[in-house]
Amino acid sequence: MPPTTADRPAAPPPGPIVGLARFLRRVGRLKTTPRTGWLDRGVPTAAVESVADHSFRTALLAWLAAKVAADTAAGAATGASPHPADGFASGPSLGPALGTSPRRPLGAADGDTPSAVGRRGAGLDTDRVLKLALIHDLAESLTGDPPPYDPATIPPGADARRRFLDGRHVRAPDRAAAKRAAEDAAMADLLADLPPSLAADLAALWAELAAGDSAESRFVKQADKLETFLQSRDYLATDPARPMASFAAEVAEVVTHPTLAALRDAMAAPTDAG
């Protein structure tokens, strides 16, 4: 029997759909917005990733790593022992046989079941991690991707340029404030196209990222740096002479979550992956 009109979902009002279409067109500019740090480091224009490329892998990395953290926590809650190389539970713990209790995993509470710990991702809301990662660079569809340093300060000469770019750069307070103000204005502009409830949801996520005071926002900020490090490794594989040392130095300092730190170390190892 063919579906009737009553079986079909109700069509939304045209206004919100028009706004959503405009929003999606505008954030689509991320597909053609280059990551400027790679251009400064001599990566050929045709090979430079876009902000959308980076955002996609950051979101995937953050979500999957949060899931691994959840699986590890759930395994620990059952007395399973995480595998030292990959973080997945690999078998029963020897703790009960030795008369000791397995260590409570991060994020576990009294009375927690393994599934409850796993859903929280060792204290992380994995769905929120994914949402934060998806929106973390949306503003750059309007602002572009300014590097942490002033491009005008890159010195001339190949050796001096290399030393400059190999050094770790932290955005100066005035440049950081200007970047935040520009991105906040861009987000307000973008979100104005969305229905109020959806705009409020994304605005709350954006504010959470800016504050950086939740476990999920800190996790995503570390995942963001980690994805950039991985991309630097990808570029080094095609040209080992490129000045990429700053990215390794950065993740050595700022990536502190155990799952992300283990992933960082795996990324740093030689690989023959195609």
- Cβ atoms of 215 and 124 within 8 Å: the answer is yes
Nearest in space to 148 (alpha carbons), one of 222, 45, 236, 40: 40
pLDDT in tens, 7-61: 677 666 667 899 999 999 999 999 999 999 999 999 999 999 999 999 999 999 9
3-state secondary structure at position 14: helix
Query: pLDDT digits over 90-99, tens only?
Result: 333 323 332 3
CATH entry 1.10.3720.10 includes domain 37-90+108-268: no
Tokens at 256, concatenated = 């502190």
Q: What is the rounded distance in angstroms from the CA atom of residue 8 to the CA atom of residue 20?
A: 21
Q: Where are the domains of the chain?
A: 37-90+108-268
pTM for the full predicted model: 0.80
Confirm if 235 and 38 have CB atoms less than 8 A apart. yes
* pLDDT above 90 for 130: yes
- Other C-beta atoms closer than 10 Å to the C-beta of 211 total 9
